[in-house]
A and B are shown apart, each in its own frame.
Chain A
Amino acid sequence: MAPFRRRKGRFVVGLGAGERELLTELCRQTRDLLEAEDPSSDPSVARLFPAAYKDDPLRSLEFETNLGRAPKNGKLAAIETLERTLGARELSEEEFLQWMGAVNDFRLLLGTRIEITEEATERDYPDDHPDHDAFQVYVYLTWLEDRMLRALDAPRPSARSVGGRDRPEPE
């Protein structure tokens, strides 16, 4: 079953129970990270909120201060939508885009944490590697996001090596 299919402006979801469980768990962990007292001390969380000025920390801080809680609230809202609609068989486009935003954030957090590279393959994360399981989840999320983009008819310039054609098994 295709994980996502567009039908009359809505998105039909075909996820298995294991996939929904994994996404629920990722929602919970990500919300905990975002709501931690000092999330900026975690480099993977910092990746979600990059500096706006490359070599000007003061100006970046001012930019950050002006935005206030809006960036974090936006990400939390996407997670809430994903959690709330995880059992749904169909999503509105707005909900579907929130799903994709949350999944992309999961990939950013996870990829940063396991120090992923563009060329990373299974061989870089063998069975005995401490990040083996995290890499499996990352590959699954890559595949899932790719399917979301297909459902949105996003142009496909080229295929990425990570996230093959077959549905990876979530751990």
Chain B
Amino acid sequence: MSRGTTVAPVEVERPVGDEVHEPDLPWIVIVWNDPINLMTYVTWVFMRLFGYPREKAEKLMWDVHTKGRAVVSSGPLEKAEADVARLHSHGLWATLEKES
């Protein structure tokens, strides 16, 4: 993140532990394949919830179906959790995790 006013790099002593960078890492939302939800339904949910065009929604649906999972959205923790809740309310099996 840049504020645009710092001229020289500031030396910062790093605290021990890896939690320092946690807020900067985006979270990803994953939809997992399941034997029940219809392919048509999954495509429709992606279009409706995320406003994705048909091509993108279908590509994600096929990834879920053939590869077993697909990353369908990403962003800050709050957004990722909200997306997971919306996918759950539509019956999709979704989880979130930190991007690696």
Contact = CB atoms under 8 A, between A and B. Distances in A.
Interface of A: 47-54, 63, 67, 70-71, 74-75, 101, 104-105, 107-108, 111-112, 116-118, 120, 142, 145-146, 149, 152, 154-158, 160
Interface residues of B, number: 28
21 contacts: A49-B88, A50-B93, A50-B95, A54-B95, A54-B97, A63-B84, A71-B85, A71-B88, A75-B89, A107-B36, A116-B35, A120-B35, A145-B38, A152-B44, A154-B44, A155-B40, A155-B47, A155-B57, A156-B40, A157-B39, A158-B39
Nearest to A120: B35
Interface in B22-79: 30, 35-41, 43-44, 47, 54, 57-58, 61-62
Contacts of B36: 107-108, 111-112, 116
Contacts of B41: 104, 145, 149, 154
The 9 A-B pairs at the shortest CB distance, nearest first, are namely A111-B36, A154-B44, A118-B35, A54-B95, A104-B91, A149-B40, A52-B84, A155-B54, A50-B93
Nearest to B30: A54
A157 B44 CA distance: 11
Contacts, number: 83
A48 B34 CA distance: 12
A55 B30 CA distance: 13
A156 B38 CA distance: 10
B42 to A, nearest CB: 9
A149 B30 CA distance: 23
Given A51-B95, A71-B85, A154 B40 contact: yes
Contact of B95 (A53, A70, A105, A157): A53
